[in-house]
Amino acid sequence: MNRWLLWLPLALFGLLFATFATGLILPKDNIIESKMVGKPMPDFALPAAIEQRPGLSSADLAKGKPTLLNIFASWCLPCIAEAPQLLALQQAGVEINAIASRDTPEDIANFLNRWGNPYARIGTDTTSKVQLELGSSGVPETFVIDGNGIIVHQHIGDIRQEDVDMLLKLLEDAE
Amino acid sequence: MKRVLVFLLVCLAAPAAAQTGLPPAPYADRQLDDPQQEAAARDLMEELRCLKCQSQSIADSNAPMAGDMRSQVRERIAAGETPEEVRSWLIERYGNWVSYDPPISSAVTWPLWIAPIILLLAALWLARGRFRKYRGEQ
């Protein structure tokens, strides 16, 4: 048998070792990005989540002005963390609409009373139907939508302080 | 008596760590009336990945979102969509990632299919070499 074949098992071992080592060393990336970025908003119409705000339909997201669509839930902790940033964005003049994921009207009202309500419209998505249409896989998530209803950007996870400027820039570019 | 007690206890049990206060989507845990459609839906659910607990299929997972996905799968199949249509509807939104049966189309997925065949061929070739050697020694 060829001499070099003797080294084959060792080479295979090295390959396997490298594979597993990189798997262990690299941080686990669980983020699933939506493939809907760049595509028009899917058609939907959701009933109002609370009395004080109207429900949300896809037509509300294509009115000529770029908007943010925030997916949140009262049972979601990071949603509390991003509440001040959403309020800051609203004060900067951004129209923010929301989809409440798997939630009850009372819980949503309590959540908004406690942490502030930056939303113009809130639709309630009790069976994640619209969330699945959007390719969204959790809360909180925020979509930047241009005036024609095209999804420009998906922000996965809570909006941190340092993300606010980036989102404002994206909204400006979407004009 | 004991059995009845256990049964009553099970009836009383509430899900301990529910993330949301809402009941599951209508068809999350309810089978379709048509056994053939249910079987088709079931087979598809085994091959769709849960978005929350990514090593499980949506058939295996108790995550509320997996329940919502099961309900969508059943509702769509009950409405006459084929399993492949439902699968591509999800792939369109989440990418090939969401399916446990990835296509051979892309550069990322073809090694998945070809690697076992290459390994098998290599093993056969190695075994052939060995047998030859032994025969030579006899």
| pLDDT given at position B12 | 52
Query: From the CA of B86, how many Å to the nearest CA of chain A?
Result: 12
pLDDT per residue over A61-106, tens digit each?
Answer: 999 999 999 999 999 999 999 999 999 999 999 999 999 999 999 9
Top pLDDT among A122 and B97 is at A122
> Is A40 strand, coil or helix?
strand
Low-confidence ranges of chain B (pLDDT < 70): 1-21, 134-138
Length of chain B: 138
Separation of alpha carbons A3 and B129, rounded Å: 14
Residue B94 identity: Y
- Domain B24-101: what homologous superfamily? Cytochrome C biogenesis protein (1.10.8.640)
Q: What's the rounded mean pLDDT across residues A157-171?
A: 95
Cβ-count burial A44-71 (b if 16+ within 10 Å, e if not): bebebbbeebbebbbebbbeeebbbbbb
Two structure tokens written together for A25: 């060393």
* CB pair distance less than 8 Å for B20 and A73: yes
Q: Are A49 and A55 in contact (CB under 8 A)?
A: yes
Any idea where the domains of chain B sit in the sequence? 24-101, 103-138
Query: From the CA of B43, how many Å to the nearest CA of chain A?
Result: 20
Distances (CA, A) of A70 to A85, A94, B89: 12, 12, 23
pLDDT per residue over A1-60, tens digit each?
Answer: 678 888 989 999 999 999 999 989 988 777 889 999 999 999 999 999 999 999 999 999
Top pLDDT among B107 and A175 is at A175
* CB pair distance less than 8 Å for B97 and A104: no
pTM of the entire structure? 0.80
| pLDDT given at position B14 | 46
Any idea where the domains of chain A sit in the sequence? 45-173
Separation of alpha carbons A155 and A145, rounded Å: 11
| pLDDT given at position B112 | 83
Closest to A126 (Cβ–Cβ): which among B22, B52, B54? B22
Query: From the CA of B92, how many Å to the nearest CA of chain A?
Result: 6
| pLDDT given at position A31 | 83
Q: What is the DSSP string of A73-140?
A: -TT-HHHHHHHHHHHHHHHTT-EEEEEEES--HHHHHHHHHHH----SEEEEETTSHHHHHHT--SSS
Q: Are A117 and A91 in contact (CB under 8 A)?
A: no
Indicate the CATH number of A45-173 among 3.30.70.260, 3.40.30.10, 3.50.50.60, 3.10.105.10. Answer: 3.40.30.10
Top pLDDT among A158 and B14 is at A158
